[in-house]
Amino acid sequence: MSLKSLLLAAATLSSTLPAAAAEPAPQIHYRTADIQDVNVFYREAGPADAPAVLLLHGFGASSHMFRDLIPVLAQRYRVIAPDLPGFGQTTVKQGVAFDYTFDNVATVIDAFTVEKGLDRYAIYVFDYGAPVGWRLAVANPQKITAIVSQNGNAYEEGLSEGWADMRKAWDAPTPENREALRRFNTPDMIKWQYTEGVRDTTLIAPESYQLASAAIARIGVEPQMDLLLDYGSNLRQYPQLHDFFRQYQPPTLAIWGKNDPFFIPAGAEAYKRDNPKAEVRFLDTGHFAIETHGGEIATRMLEFLDRNIAR
């Protein structure tokens, strides 16, 4: 084939490729910030002057769960995903006694958003990230531009029977009831939370749950035990959260793995009670929906944000 023919073929091929394929993916930066004796690890990408999106992970995870979502969002948004205290690469300074409660975790993340200059931002909340995000929203309603909840519960009817042992420990926090929660932190149980309710488990990268288990082994299981025991405090704050929904009516997308063994579909539908314009979408997968349906979540999230966030 002649050079002219090669050039013509290359030009034809490039014209048929999607625009995104011809553009390099935004680079992700891996950084840390010292916040109130906590060294917060976070991932950041996207234009510094673009609307901000804060991604908050949950139990059995870290900002690693957003590894594929961040490059997609960062094409049009400034994206920041911290590891919560007790998770991933975030560490408490040596010699500092950190009290692992949701109030304290939220206080650190709130101060982190100030440090990062997030005066206005959307939040993506998942699992434990939800009660952290809810505290930020209630305390700073003027800062929240939109909410994406991926299996991030906000209503008591969203809790399945799988919370029975936790409820028992909340009502009677005895050493025996606390000890009964330890099994939720084992490698087998962490893996189960990724695979339960998933139609095709070969879609789940094993390093996702392996990294989560490794972090628990490195940081220690007691912070996780403390947070499980403190989760009942989130339910007591639901009335304040529902007041926030009713008063401010934030644009909300609840996109939910409908086979979640912990947060059931009723919890997603409940968003419409206090915010009738909330959008609810169900995916045929489990708790970690982003692991199996990340592409669909990214597409719907971009469309939702583009409709609701002014530039």
Residue 6 phi, psi dihedral angles, 5° rounding: -65, -45
Query: Are β-strands 78-82 and 38-45 bridged in parallel, bridged antiparallel, or unpaired?
Result: antiparallel
pLDDT band at 11 (very low <50, low <70, confident <90, very high): very low
User: What's the angle, vertex CA 268, arms to CA 264 and CA 274, rounded to 5?
Assistant: 135
What per-residue string of b and e applies to 241-264 under the rule 16 or more CB within 10 Å gives b? bbebbeeeebbbbbbbbbbbebbb
pLDDT recorded at residue 22:
52
287 catalytic per annotation? yes
Considering the entire predicted model, what is its pTM?
0.92
pLDDT recorded at residue 12:
37
Q: Which amino acid is at 201?
A: T
CA 109 to CA 309: how far, in whole Å? 22
User: What would the pLDDT profile of 259-308 be if each residue is shown by its tens digit?
Assistant: 999 999 999 999 999 999 999 999 999 999 999 999 999 999 999 999 99
User: What would the pLDDT profile of 108-128 be if each residue is shown by its tens digit?
Assistant: 999 999 999 999 999 999 999
Burial of 75 (0-12, 13-18, 19+ CB in 10 A): middle
3-state secondary structure of 53: strand
> Average pLDDT in the 139-143 region?
98
Q: How many CB atoms lie within 10 A of CB 99?
A: 11
pLDDT at 222 over 70: yes
CA dihedral 127, 287, 246, 78 (to 10 degrees): 70
pLDDT at 161 over 50: yes
Structure tokens at 214: 């490794």
Q: Of residues 57, 64, 287, 293, which has the active-site annotation?
A: 287
